Structure 1
């Protein structure tokens, strides 16, 4: 199994409840099922259906996507980043998504996935990670704050979901390591 850095990152406060690995095609079905579960809950994304693996794979930066696996090798969460622009001025800025299986929440999975993403992006010279989070998703806002993200503001009525206008809180983490 390929690992992040020189050794696996354990999730769960020292308990070996999950290991962080690069997200690959072998994780596709489980990753997309977790994505769909987040969509179905209604406070994760404007998307209405998880994409095909081919669309997901093409959109996500391969070097900045990770899966959290439990002791049985089951995917319990994932994080992935996309470029925000093809313009060279934005080469150091990515947007990310992080999703955790509903039964794996409360085990530091999202925090550890965010750490893996931060480590990989900083190693690649990326200075900003950003995301839009629905204000009702207080758990996601809290985990991002703990990971060093700050709230830039709220984009009001930025899009409709099921016929209803939704706000999005824009968060970002600026790397203290990248000049």
Structure 2
């Protein structure tokens, strides 16, 4: 039975997802420059992050699950853009797909559900930073109407080299 034929459901993330979400994120910490975190997290260390994304409001967490196995295939968030009050109508967007689940439209499903959930919120702009190179993420964000703003050159050092970060924005 091919896992690529299973149905994918998207729902808000819940506390019971914390272990699987931490595992997905830690994969990107260990194996890729996608996140500039350099040390893996325990689920307890990630709990404040999860709790900062309730089921309502502008900061949300959506999770894609395999309908048969209930395995988490990825997640997307809208998070605080900056901590100052004037930034309250802006959000930072992220999407992470589980290892082996890429190429199945998981990111598209997650962003579709997340932007639908945010439609009634008092939001003006969404922002994304994409460590380069990452053509799949660039295509996903452009498909959702994000516009390229510019690139921070050699903004972070990981795995013994410097990485650029392309910045994108979307009107909400």
Match of 1:25 among 15, 30, 33: 15
Match of residue 74 from structure 1: 71
SS in 2 for 1:173: strand
Structure 1 stretches lacking a partner, 5+ long: 1-11
CA distance in 2 between partners of 1:105 and 1:87 (Å): 35
Taking structure 1 as reference, are residues 132 and 119 closer, same or farther at Cα in structure 2, changes over 3 Å only? same
- Partner residue in 1 for 2:49: 56
Counterpart Cα distance in 2 of 1:36 and 1:87 = 28
- Whether 2:37 is the aligned partner of 1:47: answer yes
1:19, 1:101 → 2: CA distance?
14
Task: Give the distance between the partners of 2:89 and 2:141, measured in 1 at CA.
Answer: 19
CA deviations on 1:51-110 (whole Å, 9 max, x unpaired) are 32323224x432311100102211100011221223332111011221001211111110
User: Which of 16, 24, 37 is matched with 2:27 structurally?
Assistant: 37
What TM-score do you get using the length of structure 2 for normalisation? 0.85
Residue 16 (structure 1) shift:
5.7
Residue 166 (structure 2) pairs with residue 169 (structure 1)? yes
- For normalisation by structure 1, the TM-score amounts to 0.82
CA contact (8 A) 1:61 1:83 kept: no
Instruction: Report SS of the residue matched to 1:118.
Output: helix
Residue 114, structure 1, aligned to residue 111, structure 2: yes
* Inter-partner Cα distance in structure 2 for 1:108 and 1:123: 25
Paired residues, what number?
161
Structure 2 spans left out of the alignment, 5+ residues: none
How does 1:111-150 map onto structure 2 within 5 Å?
111-150=108-147
